[in-house]
Amino acid sequence: MTRYEKRYGRKIYAVDLFCGAGGLTHGLGKAGIDVRLGVDIDPACEYPYTANNDAKFLLKPVEELDADELRRYYKRNGIKLLAGCAPCQTFSTYNQKATESDKRWWLLLQFSRLVDELRPDLVTMENVPRLIEQNVFDQFVTNLERKGYSVNHQVVNCADYGIPQQRNRLVLLASRLGTITLMSPAEFDKKPQTVREAIEELPTLAAGSSYLQDRLHQSSILSELNLRRIRKSKPGGTWRDWPAELVADCHKKKSGKTYPSVYGRMTWDEPSPTITTQFFGFGNGRFGHPEQDRAISLREGAILQSFPKDYKFVPPGEQVYQKVLGRLIGNAVPVALGEVVGLSLLSHVWQATGMRTGRPQ
């Protein structure tokens, strides 16, 4: 019997839909939840998911899943959790073209279908804040409530939970065991972690180079023009700090002046900006290293997403593709946020079962 089981009683077993590279699974596992299966349609997710987590991986579209395929991964006497983060690009502020005809728009309802079929004790979902404005989210919440779940959802800033990144996310928890809430930052007594605290100790890199002992610690090549630009960039500044001859033509236009956050450096003593799927490119946001003349490396992006420094993303001997790894890292649920969710679920189960029995089971 594990220490968690001795303290809290029945163990929580989970399936992670849209599992990606395993950020949520890894965080739930650190909290003490036994995630048994991750499901995703991206083959690139399988290696990092299985290499870092004690769980199986199923390569399959969620809309083709049925409850029987998932039910066997739960133990009969355990508490069942269904977790997931449906692809968020549809609802992101970066995507101005998405409409309800986008197939991804309705993946949340496939998640809802599986909740109906499985009837898990607990449900959790993480997504971008704009989802809360959409009818599909209202349908998801309403369906949970009609099925007897207590539902709590809120937008949180990951930095408030000690994650070295300004990242606002919508977190939903639902339970059939009783009223549920996400634990507050005050309950964790965390201070925002800075970029310096997270990545300063990593080896120095030049643009376009990599560190032999960690292939993920590699940075993108910069053109001569962009090298000149980054050398004129200030931490926390913008392209407006550059001499006129370095400013891109598109930024000189009236419409371009509203995008000051591209071609910028991070600041050492603050959390990083939101890590997107394009974080490895200097021109894609404020992704310049605070001091070195380059964009942050893949490993640095992963650490700012609170992945462990030794998290494996690519099999030994295989080539590292920046666009693939950028997608996996940028789309991930920060590991530390997954741990917050997991600890909130464990605390809830302890309180809910204690209310029924007068003591933790």
3-state secondary structure (DSSP) of residue 198? helix
3-state secondary structure (DSSP) of residue 199? helix
> Which letter does DSSP use for residue 291 in this model?
S
Which of 190-194, 222-226, 251-255, 324-328 shows the lowest mean pLDDT across its residues? 251-255
Residue whose C-alpha is closest to residue 83's, from 51, 53, 44, 47 = 53
Q: Does the active-site annotation cover 19?
A: no
Question: Averaged over 192-214, what is the pLDDT?
Answer: 97
- Per residue in 24-71, pLDDT (tens digit) is 999 999 999 999 999 999 999 999 999 999 999 999 999 999 999 999
- Residue 344: CB atoms within 10 A of its CB come to 21
Percent of the chain exceeding pLDDT 70 equals: 87
Provide the token pair at 155: 């937008």
Q: Quick one: pLDDT band at residue 252, thresholds 50, 70, 90?
A: low
pLDDT at 256 over 70: no
Question: Averaged over 115-140, what is the pLDDT?
Answer: 95
pLDDT at 238 over 50: yes
Query: Phi/psi of residue 16, each to 5°?
Result: -110, 105
Domains with residue ranges and CATH for the chain: 3-192+333-357 (3.40.50.150), 195-331 (3.90.120.10)
Question: Average model confidence (pLDDT) for the chain?
Answer: 89
Position 106 scores a pLDDT of 80
Question: Averaged over 229-254, what is the pLDDT?
Answer: 82
Position 250 scores a pLDDT of 72
| Residue 248 or residue 275, greater confidence | 275
Position 105 scores a pLDDT of 64
Q: Quick one: pLDDT band at residue 244, thresholds 50, 70, 90?
A: confident
End-to-end CA distance of the chain: 13
Residues 6+ apart with CB under 8 A from 123: 81, 82, 83, 115, 144, 149, 172, 173, 174, 175
Which of 93-102, 138-147, 153-162, 206-215 shows the lowest mean pLDDT across its residues? 93-102
Question: Averaged over 282-289, what is the pLDDT?
Answer: 93
19, 45, 85, 88: the active-site residue = 88
Position 360 scores a pLDDT of 41
Position 103 scores a pLDDT of 61
Question: Averaged over 330-357, what is the pLDDT?
Answer: 88
Question: Averaged over 245-266, what is the pLDDT?
Answer: 70
Put residue 9 in one of left, alpha, beta given phi > 0 → left and psi -120 to 50 → alpha: left
Provide the token pair at 29: 């596992």
